[in-house]
Amino acid sequence: MAEHGSIFGAMLQEFDVAARILNLDPGIWRILTHPKRQIVVSCPVQMDNGEIEVFTGYRVQYNVTLGPAKGGIRYHPDVSLDEVTALAAWMTWKCAIAHIPFGGGKGGVVCDPTRMSRRELEALTRRYVAEIIDAIGPEKDVPAPDVNTDAQVMAWVMDTYSMHVGHTSTAVVTGKPVEMGGSLGRREATGRGVMIVTREAARHLGLAFEGATVAIQGFGNVGSVSADLLARAGTRVVAITDWKGGVYNAKGLDITAMLDYARQHKTIDGFPGGDSISNEDLFAMDVDVLIPAALENQVTADNAGSIRAKILIEAANGPTTPDAHKILHERGVLVVPDILANSGGVTVSYFEWVQDRYGYFWEEREVNERLERKMCEAFDDVVQTSMKYKVDLRTAAYIVAISRVGTVTKMRGMYA
Ligand code: NAD
């Protein structure tokens, strides 16, 4: 059972609300609230100074009822088994809502990659993969990038696994470079999905999408692609912040110029096309759509009352605390939950895995069209469920996920 204050405990709270509404069978309830498998490994690495360090790594396969476990690998000093388990559970629900044949998994290594050389990172990655090698594979568990891991790290994962099994296995991991079995459109997929659900949410509220005003926290992979695609789709992106500062322009920011500026300066702070703003200003802005796309716990009970946006799209994972969510719901703000809003990334990861197994690669147009269809279907399923049960979209998303995983768990029955 999760301890008080744990991230996994927070996931269980959200789960319980939906399970109660569904009147979920107590046995299925018990199964779905326990991780299938938690692996803890020690990874010795010879550092550049000749000393040996031992890093702790985790891989959690939360549920594999619908297919192989799917989820990223995170490198961060704060990684813990509790956090990895919660993230693996959220991946289970995210894949079920996206209606893709994957279960949920997540991995992490306790390390500070900002203080490690490229050679040390490669050595750590290869040793971590070697330690969990029996548990992963295209049919078992398919990792992907997460915080502080990228396409290069995935290339090392793929190579290490391939060397061990004796042949090239591209489908063991997603988020790889396109040259070695990655998918076109994968890099933009999460932001593209965010743009699509924003459009669908506006349509749901009867709000004009074209000309709608948008404020975004974060200008990294997700925030910058979302901003670019939303601007191209005709919305007015008026405010953006990042770790260092923020910019506001009532007429709409020039996102192409901002992308160039961010490439050069590694921040948008000081961008000449608008006035300087803080995160606090951004959250209180009178806009139609607010998109936190940076970190967890950004919308709290302290600032939820000042939010004036009609729609909040959770592009980041866990940006809204449960208390804040309650306040927003009472004030009539439509919150599109993370397990729906940012599922574009895992959906195109699924397309990458399909293409790798098929050995035939799609054009970017085809990837984007299929993503569009998948995101619209997922959004519609969650909205229909919210109307049927008269609940908010987060609870509805859990109801969709729990129903799908629970039904198949029952059909498959118990192997004992
Ligand atoms: P990233 O590291 O590329 O970008 C993070 C951005 O947040 C940067 O612009 C950074 O400056 C900004 N930021 C950091 N601290 C901030 C602060 N205090 N105030 C304002 N901005 C701040 O990360 P990303 O890949 O864009 O991921 C962002 C979020 O989306 C994370 O929660 C991640 O888990 C989630 N997510 C990402 C993907 C994906 O495909 N990359 C998929 C699903 C969910």
Q: Are 310 and 333 in contact (CB under 8 A)?
A: yes
Is 217 close to ligand 1, i.e. is its CB under 6 Å away?
yes
Residue 219: strand pairing partners: none
* Best CA proximity match to 328, nearest among 316, 314, 340, 342: 314
Rounded to the nearest angstrom, the distance between the alpha carbon of 283 and the centre of ligand 1 is 16
Domain spans, the chain: 36-170, 189-341
Confidence of residue 365 (pLDDT cuts 50, 70, 90): very high
Q: Given this chain, do its domains 36-170 and 189-341 carry the same CATH topology?
A: yes
Structure tokens belonging to residue 354: 């399909």
Q: Average of pLDDT values for 340-362? A: 98
Residue of the CA atom closest to atom 14 of ligand 1: 243
The alpha carbons of the chain give a radius of gyration, in whole angstroms, of 21
User: Tokens in use for 213?
Assistant: 């005003």
Q: Is the pLDDT of residue 3 over 80?
A: no
- For residue 286, which phi and psi values (nearest 5 degrees)? -85, 80
Q: Going by DSSP bridges, is the β-strand pair 334-336/37-46 parallel, antiparallel, or unpaired?
A: unpaired
C-beta atoms surrounding 189 within 10 Å: 28
Best residue among 79, 106, 222 to mutate for probing ligand 1, ranked by most atoms within 8 Å of CB? 222
Mean pLDDT (the chain) is: 96
Angstrom distances, CA of residue 103 to CA of 143, 201, 369: 12, 27, 24
CA of 304 to the centre of ligand 1 (A): 20
**pLDDT tens string 207-263:** 999 999 999 999 999 999 999 999 999 999 999 999 999 999 999 999 999 999 999
The span from the CA of 241 to the CA of 218, in Å, is 6
Residue owning the nearest CA to atom 15 of ligand 1: 243
Task: Report the alpha-carbon distance of residue 377 to residue 106 in Å, rounded.
Answer: 25
C-beta 221 within 6 A of ligand 1: yes
pLDDT over 60 at 4, yes or no: no
Q: Is the CB of 222 under 6 A from ligand 1?
A: yes
Question: Confidence band (pLDDT; 50, 70, 90) for 107?
Answer: very high
Residue owning the nearest CA to atom 8 of ligand 1: 220
Ligand 1 and 293: CB distance under 6 A: yes
Give me the CATH code for the 36-170 domain, please: 3.40.50.10860
Nearest CA to ligand 1 atom 43: 342
Q: Whose CA is nearest to atom 34 of ligand 1?
A: 317
To the question of domain 189-341 being in CATH 3.40.640.10, the answer is: no
Asked if 307 and 292 count as a contact pair (C-beta separation under 8 A), the reply is no
pLDDT, residue 281, reads 97
* Mutation probe of ligand 1 site: the residue of 243, 255, 269, 283 with most atoms within 8 A of C-beta: 243
Best mutation site among 90, 221, 281 for ligand 1, i.e. most ligand atoms within 8 A of its Cβ? 221
Strand order in the sheet with 236-241: 275-276, 246-248, 236-241, 213-217, 289-292, 311-313, 334-336
User: Is residue 316 in contact with ligand 1, taking CB distance under 6 Å?
Assistant: yes
Residue 5, pLDDT above cutoff 70:
no
Sorted by sequence, the CB contacts under 8 Å of residue 373 that are 6+ apart come out as: none
Q: Which atom of ligand 1 is nearest to the CA of 175?
A: 40
- Give the atom of ligand 1 at the shortest distance from the alpha carbon of 190: 40
Q: pLDDT for 151-177, tens place per residue?
A: 999 999 999 999 999 999 999 999 999
Asked if residue 223 has its Cβ within 6 Å of ligand 1, the reply is yes
Ligand 1, atom 18: closest residue by C-alpha: 243
Contact yes or no for 249/276 (Cβ under 8 A):
no
pLDDT at 296: 86
Mean pLDDT of 393-415: 96
User: Degrees (nearest 5) of the Cα angle 41, 129, 58?
Assistant: 35
pLDDT for res 416:
73
pLDDT at 184 over 90: yes
The answer, yes or no, to whether any atom of ligand 1 lies below 6 A from the CB of 190, is: yes
In this prediction, residue 299 carries a pLDDT of 96
**Is the CB–ligand 1 distance for residue 243 below 6 Å?**
yes
72-101 pLDDT, tens per residue? 999 999 999 999 999 999 999 999 999 999
Q: Active-site residue among 70, 94, 106, 176?
A: 106
Residue 6 has pLDDT above 90, yes or no: no
- 106 carries an active-site annotation: yes
Contact 35, 113 (CB under 8 A): no
Q: Which of 84, 295, 343, 347 for mutating ligand 1's site (highest number of atoms within 8 Å of CB)?
A: 295
Total-model pTM: 0.96
pLDDT given at position 406: 98
The mean pLDDT value for 45-61 works out to 98
